[in-house]
Structure 1
Amino acid sequence: MGRGAQKGQPPVDFKLPGVALKRIWSSLIVALHLLTGWRMNNPSIIHPLLVGVLGLILAFRTNQAGELFSDMVVFEAYERHWSCAKQLTEMQRVLQTMLRYAAHLSRDDWEIYSCIVRHLIAFPIALKQHLKRSRDPEEYSRVLEYSELDGIGRTGRPHTLLLSSLSMLIRPLRHRDDGLGKSLALWNQMDTCISQLQSISCNLDLVVQVPLPASYTIHADRFIRLWVGTLPFVLLDVMRPAGAPGEESVLGPAVTLSRACWDCQAVHFFLRKLLAVLGELPGTGRSE
């Protein structure tokens, strides 16, 4: 949308393609009538009959699918919200658990401990940005060091990079044998936490990628298209072309049809904008 568009006004570039196509369609109908004299018999009856039958079909389909769709969407939306809440709660628990395990390294391996803490703090930030499909390196500036920021900025999946780095940081514990197996047990517990964080990130990514089911209101958009497409036949029958008696000019029909199509396109645009807000049109994040 251009910068000159005022707030609250529909974008003109969204309307013009649809209006241009409808004007071309209307002009073809008028030209066909002027060149051949062909005119549909009783279009004023056929058009409302077509609309009435289509509306009746949509009404039955809406009535039949309405409750099912409503229950399905509410159930899936609830399940999605509940699943995200459970995964985020589980992620917080795992991070706190791994931070508690890492505290055992604070006395002997301060560098490894501080690096693990930085990675654990940065992991929720990286996962949030990945799920939102956004990039903001400034969020890491207060957590990670400059060398770590460079690696985060060059990867497409920063949360996965942090998990890999955590695995590398705890690897020495596996080969450190004190005769009691404490280091090996600590490595095993921390590696389990890393696996759990990886599973949580995959589950949240799946929840974000799978769209909600498309609504039956998409059929209303198709209904408007069909109604506008058959409107020129009715207008051609009820109006009188401008010109001298016995002569017909394309100017009157073209102007009338263009104005009618513009008005219909305005209604069509309003409906599409409403459905787009609901996320129920193709190309707005929901699959048809």
Structure 2
Amino acid sequence: MIKYNPKKWFSLIFQFHRSDTFRILLPSMILIGLYTAGFTYLELEVVEWRDGATTTVHSLLGIVLGLVLVFRTNSAYDRWWEGRKLWGALINETRNMAMKIQAFLPEDDLHNRQFFSKYITNYVYAMKGHLRGKINLAELELMQELPLQELEKAKHVPNIIATAIYIKCNQLYRRQLISGDQFIILDKEVKALTDIVGACERIKNTPIPYSYSLFMKKFIFIYTMTMPLGFITSFQYWTIPVVMFVFYVLVSIELIAEEIEEPFGVDSNDLPMEEMALRIKHNVREILSNTHRSLVTGH
């Protein structure tokens, strides 16, 4: 995700990056310009058709196209923002879970604190990789409770890690290291993690309906390809840059919507999941550390 200062708007005008739509669309804009130039030359110099065209049809269709693009952009941004809220909830849930484990476990139980410190972090990194379609097992801190061979064969690694956390909580209850009420509290925290990954999967696995996406692309293509028919009489050879600019604006909106509607990828405008996962890792370790407990208890 690109970080920037929105108040420095003048410098942003001349800033280019790898996801900038102008750079991506430049080859297509050149083709559209060549097509429009050939069409304009044919009409003005060969056919000599200098009257009779009108921009009325394109003006009316432009209103409809604008409304459709607004809905398209809003629906894509809603998916991006929902993904951000879910990762914000993940940050809060992991903190809550770590704080409750720190309070519930006996003061000298360092092994179980270490387990939860590693496995809460493992869940977050596994969730990040799961949403991107490939999990980097090197990011996970494994213990004897969860061997690497089991994770390599798993199709849903976050579920495996959540199950290991559930088993550990149940063991703590059976050994009477935590009470029944505390076990129920931890059960809700683990359930919240599963609910979050499920909601993220809903966004990832439910794209914009195919018919709607196909209609948008066809509408934009037909609209821009027929623009010379309506604009040549009024703009003549100025029709070339006008059509190129309109094509750039319309297709850019569609490209931006396509990028942000899938917020869990690695594009420039996708969610900074690496940064948020690292923040969770530091927060959980700090909460479950002995230093943090000594500050609270005064020992």
Aligned twin of 1:224: 224
Aligned twin of 1:238: none
Relative distance call for 1:75 and 1:278 in structure 2 (3 A) is: closer
Aligned twin of 1:260: none
Deviations 1:221-264 (A, max 9, x none): 33124458x89xx9xxxxxxxxxxxxxxxxxxxxxxxxxxxx9x
Separation in structure 1 between the aligned mates of residue 131 and residue 152 of structure 2, nearest angstrom: 16
Aligned twin of 1:54: 57
Aligned twin of 1:137: 137
Residue 120 of structure 1 aligns with an amino acid whose one-letter code is I
Could you tell me the TM-score, scaled by structure 2's length?
0.51
SS of the residue corresponding to residue 279 of structure 1 reads helix
Superposition CA RMSD, Å: 5.4
Deviations 1:16-52 (A, max 9, x none): xx99xx9xxx9xxxxxxxxxxxxx9x98767x44xx3
Could you tell me how far 1:62 is from its partner in structure 2?
A: 4.6
Relative distance call for 1:94 and 1:158 in structure 2 (3 A) is: farther
Separation in structure 2 between the aligned mates of residue 133 and residue 117 of structure 1, nearest angstrom: 25
**Fraction of identical pairs, as percent:** 10
Aligned twin of 2:150: 151
Could you tell me how far 1:93 is from its partner in structure 2?
A: 2.8
Separation in structure 2 between the aligned mates of residue 169 and residue 117 of structure 1, nearest angstrom: 13
Separation in structure 2 between the aligned mates of residue 268 and residue 70 of structure 1, nearest angstrom: 17
Aligned twin of 2:120: 120
Mapping 1:267-282, distance limit 5 Å: 274-275=252-253, 277-280=255-258
Could you tell me how far 1:152 is from its partner in structure 2?
A: 2.5
SS of the residue corresponding to residue 104 of structure 1 reads coil
- Are residues 1:162 and 2:150 paired? no
Q: Is the 8 A contact 1:173 1:186 kept in 2?
A: no
Q: Which stretch of the first structure deviates more once superposed, 91-100 or 80-89?
A: 80-89
Separation in structure 2 between the aligned mates of residue 129 and residue 123 of structure 1, nearest angstrom: 10
Q: Is the 8 A contact 2:220 2:250 kept in 1?
A: no
Mapping 1:84-123, distance limit 5 Å: 84=86, 86-100=88-102, 103-104=105-106, 107=109, 112-123=112-123
Larger Rg: 1
SS of the residue corresponding to residue 105 of structure 2 reads helix
Could you tell me how far 1:122 is from its partner in structure 2?
A: 1.0
SS of the residue corresponding to residue 102 of structure 2 reads helix
Relative distance call for 1:82 and 1:127 in structure 2 (3 A) is: closer
Separation in structure 1 between the aligned mates of residue 100 and residue 198 of structure 2, nearest angstrom: 19
Q: Is the 8 A contact 2:90 2:193 kept in 1?
A: no
Residue 193 of structure 1 aligns with an amino acid whose one-letter code is E
Could you tell me the TM-score, scaled by structure 1's length?
0.52
Relative distance call for 1:135 and 1:266 in structure 2 (3 A) is: farther
Separation in structure 2 between the aligned mates of residue 182 and residue 202 of structure 1, nearest angstrom: 28
Query: Which structure has more RCO (C-alpha within 8 Å, separation ≥ 6)?
Result: 2
Separation in structure 2 between the aligned mates of residue 102 and residue 157 of structure 1, nearest angstrom: 29
Separation in structure 2 between the aligned mates of residue 200 and residue 111 of structure 1, nearest angstrom: 27
Deviations 1:55-101 (A, max 9, x none): 122233256x2896499469837853662364134323333235325
Residue 224 of structure 1 aligns with an amino acid whose one-letter code is T
Match for residue 80 of structure 1 among 42, 57, 82: 82
Q: What runs of 5+ residues in structure 2 fail to find an aligned partner?
A: 1-22, 40-46, 233-240, 263-299
Residue 160 of structure 1 aligns with an amino acid whose one-letter code is N
Q: Which stretch of the first structure deviates more once superposed, 191-200 or 268-277?
A: 268-277
Q: Is the 8 A contact 2:73 2:257 kept in 1?
A: no
Q: Is the 8 A contact 1:152 1:161 kept in 2?
A: yes
Could you tell me how far 1:139 is from its partner in structure 2?
A: 1.3
